[in-house]
């Protein structure tokens, strides 16, 4: 009887194993496609936002400035050196307005892929159109930057929202890390190609200005070309909601407000999110403004800036791995706090850098690279422990808003400081407040109690 039962059970068990294997294979296929969106869009961050567009847009604004050093977009007097920082701030404000609406549409319809395609190709098209810049077309450059940067932010909300659907809980850290690694790999690879083109532009028979415009456009073409892979492999899931056909256009904001209200029941989670909002704003501002500082204040060549950013890309991976090992020994919170101290020291060192000294700028870039990836990776990991079970998507939506939606304050402070003082050194040192305040806010969060309050098991070291 027992043998007969076993024999009858075996075919069913084999079918079950086959189903599990098929599901795992389908997940792997989607995961591989998902990696490639980071591979596609990260080139925009490294080539455009971090290296070329800041100095180039500032140069165009300077070509259009009046005798007092001001340009007048929409009749508003703006110091030419502040225009790029203000454009970055405006792009983030546009993204803040768009992200909840797009997120609500994705949740309501379940059709994330068409929305991801729209955001990706809007950003890719705006980036490719930067080939048309030059002379004193700073307004066109500002508009294209705002569109591309906002589209990038919106696409990342949709991209990240796939993670819980394509990866089991136990494998999400690995899948997320691989996507991150794909992005930095692409960023480094394209930067190398752009560095060759930029430094050898005369050998290719093109001007320096044309080389910059080709480098900008190449990021858009790369973004659009490789976005095809995730759009082919990712799939939409059906969503069954009674009110799906009647949701208001503003439901994205309503959902965000509802999530924040729910967070009031988890004040320690909200406290961490506030700390992250502050210090991450400083991180994002350093990333976007470092090239302007190197170009305008330190009088460094564009090739030096590109090499420095390439160095950051490479060391960010090594730094994240090293900080991950430190977190195993000392906990994520202590490691992040240590990284914030390192960020503060880095900015202080940047204030004293001598002009025309590439070696010292490379040293600064190395310091940034070693703390950059780990700061962001460990912050996301720590936050995952503070999210109540079953509310991962909506809480990480708020996290994404903190990551990208409020990162206009840092560039605004940077731009205003330069507007008032006329000094990029004063502007860069003004960012210390974000890391100092973030350190204080994070240090006050009792993370063990926060994990317990969220109903999650407390890791041995946190």
Identify the pLDDT of residue 33: 93
Do residues 61 and 76 make contact, with C-beta atoms less than 8 angstroms apart? Answer: no
pLDDT at 253: 62
Distances (CA, A) of 266 to 152, 182, 260, 272, 278: 30, 34, 10, 10, 19
State residue 212's pLDDT score.
94
Whether the CA torsion 416, 404, 440, 264 is positive or negative: it is: positive
Instruction: Name, in order, each residue with C-beta under 8 angstroms of 250's C-beta and a sequence gap of 6 or more.
Output: 101
pTM score of the predicted model: 0.74
Q: What is the pLDDT of residue 247?
A: 44
Q: What angle do the packed helices 358-385 and 302-330 form, to 10 degrees?
A: 40
Is 22 buried (19+), middle (13-18) or exposed (0-12) by CB count in 10 A?
Answer: exposed
Distance of CA 434 to the CA centre of its chain: 17
Q: Look at residue 215 in the predicted model and tell me its pLDDT.
A: 96
User: Can you tell me the distance from the alpha carbon of 395 to that of 386, in angstroms, rounded to the nearest whole number?
Assistant: 9
Cα 228 versus chain centre, distance: 20
Spatial separation of the C-alpha atoms in residues 216 and 221, rounded to whole Å? 9
The pLDDT of residue 392 is 58
Instruction: State the SS3 of the chain.
Output: CHHHHHHHHHHHHHHHHHHHHHHHHHHHHHHHHHHHHHHHHHHHHHHHHHHHHHHHHHHHHHHHCCCCCEECHHHCCEEHHHHHHHHHHHHHHHHHHHHHHHHHHHHHHCCHHHHHHHHHHHHHHHHHHHHHCCCCCHHHHHHHHHHHHHHHHHHHHHHHHCHHHHCCHHHHHHHHHHHHHHHHHHHHHHHHHHHHHHHCCCCCCCCHHHHHHHHHHHHHHHHHHHCHHHHHHCCCCCCCCCCHHHCCCCHHHHHHHHHHHHHCCCHHHHHHHHHHHHHHHHHHHHHHHHHHHHHHHCCCCHHHHHHHHHHHHHHHHHHHHHHHHHHHHHCHHHHHHHHHHHHHHHHHHHHCCCCCCHHHHHHHHHHHHHHHHHHHHHHHHHHHHCCCCCCHHHHHHHHHHHHHHCCCHHHHHHHHHHHHHCCHHHHHHCCHHHHHHHHHHHHCCCHHHHHHHCCCCCCCCC
Do 408 and 92 form a contact (C-beta atoms < 8 A)? Answer: yes
The pLDDT tens digits along the chain (462 residues) read 444 544 455 556 666 677 777 777 888 889 899 999 999 999 998 889 888 898 899 999 999 998 888 888 888 888 888 888 889 888 988 887 887 778 777 767 778 899 999 999 999 999 999 999 988 899 999 999 999 999 998 898 888 778 767 877 556 666 776 777 788 888 889 988 988 898 899 999 999 999 999 999 999 999 999 999 999 999 887 664 444 444 444 555 666 677 677 778 888 888 998 899 889 888 888 877 777 788 888 888 877 887 887 888 888 777 777 777 787 788 888 989 999 999 999 888 888 888 888 888 898 888 888 888 778 777 877 777 787 765 655 676 677 666 665 566 777 788 888 888 888 888 888 888 889 999 999 999 998 898 888 777 777 777
For 66, left (φ over 0), alpha (ψ -120 to 50), or beta?
Answer: beta
Predicted local confidence at residue 213, as pLDDT: 96
What does the alpha-carbon distance between residue 366 and residue 385 come to, in Å, rounded to a whole number? Answer: 30
The pLDDT tens digits of the residues spanning 97-116 come to 887 778 777 767 778 899 99
355 — phi, psi (to 5°)?
A: -70, 150
What interhelical angle do 432-443 and 267-292 show, nearest 10?
Answer: 160
Whether the CA torsion 109, 113, 119, 121 is positive or negative: it is negative
Residue 405's closest CA among 49, 31, 92? Answer: 92
């Amino acid at each position: 009887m027992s043998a007969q039962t076993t024999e009858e059970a075996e075919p069913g068990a084999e079918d079950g194993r086959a189903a599990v294997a098929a599901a795992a294979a389908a997940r792997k296929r989607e995961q591989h496609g998902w990696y490639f969106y980071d591979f596609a869009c990260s080139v925009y961050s490294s080539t455009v936002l971090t290296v070329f567009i800041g100095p180039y847009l500032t140069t165009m604004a300077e070509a259009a400035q009046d005798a007092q050093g001001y340009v007048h977009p929409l009749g508003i007097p703006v110091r030419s050196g502040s225009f790029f920082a203000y454009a970055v701030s405006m792009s983030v404000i546009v993204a803040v307005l768009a992200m909840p609406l797009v997120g609500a549409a994705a949740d309501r319809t379940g059709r994330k892929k068409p929305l991801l395609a729209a955001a990706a190709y809007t950003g890719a098209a705006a980036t490719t159109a930067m080939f048309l810049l030059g002379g004193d077309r700073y307004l066109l450059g500002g508009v294209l930057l705002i569109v591309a940067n906002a589209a990038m932010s919106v696409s990342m909300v949709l991209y990240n929202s796939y993670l819980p659907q394509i990866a089991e809980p136990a494998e999400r850290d690995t899948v997320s890390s691989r996507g991150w690694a794909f992005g930095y790999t692409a960023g480094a690879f394209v930067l190398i190609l752009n560095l060759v083109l930029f430094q050898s532009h005369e050998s290719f028979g093109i001007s320096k200005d044309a080389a910059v415009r080709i480098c900008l456009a190449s990021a858009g073409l790369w973004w659009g070309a490789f976005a095809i892979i995730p759009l082919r492999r990712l799939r939409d899931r059906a969503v069954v909601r009674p009110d799906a056909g009647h949701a208001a256009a503003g439901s994205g904001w309503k959902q965000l407000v509802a999530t924040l209200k729910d967070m009031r029941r988890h004040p320690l989670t909200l406290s961490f999110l506030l700390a992250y909002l502050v210090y991450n704003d400083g991180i994002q501002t350093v990333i976007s403004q470092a090239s302007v500082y190197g170009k305008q204040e330190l009088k460094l060549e564009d090739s030096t800036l590109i090499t420095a950013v390439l160095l950051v890309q490479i060391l960010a991976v090594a730094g994240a791995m090293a900080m991950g090992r430190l977190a195993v020994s000392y906990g994520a919170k202590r490691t992040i706090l240590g990284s914030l101290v390192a960020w503060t020291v880095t900015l202080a060192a940047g204030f004293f850098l001598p002009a025309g000294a590439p070696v010292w700028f490379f040293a600064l870039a190395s310091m940034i690279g070693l703390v950059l990836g780990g700061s962001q990776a460990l912050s996301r990991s720590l936050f995952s422990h503070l999210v109540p079970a079953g509310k991962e998507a909506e809480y990480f939506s708020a996290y994404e808003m903190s990551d990208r939606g409020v990162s206009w304050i840092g560039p605004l402070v940077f731009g205003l400081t330069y507007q008032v003082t006329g000094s990029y050194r004063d502007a860069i040192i003004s960012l210390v407040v974000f890391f100092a305040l973030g350190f204080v806010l994070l240090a006050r969060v009792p993370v063990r109690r926060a994990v317990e309050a969220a109903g999650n098991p407390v890791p041995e070291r946190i």
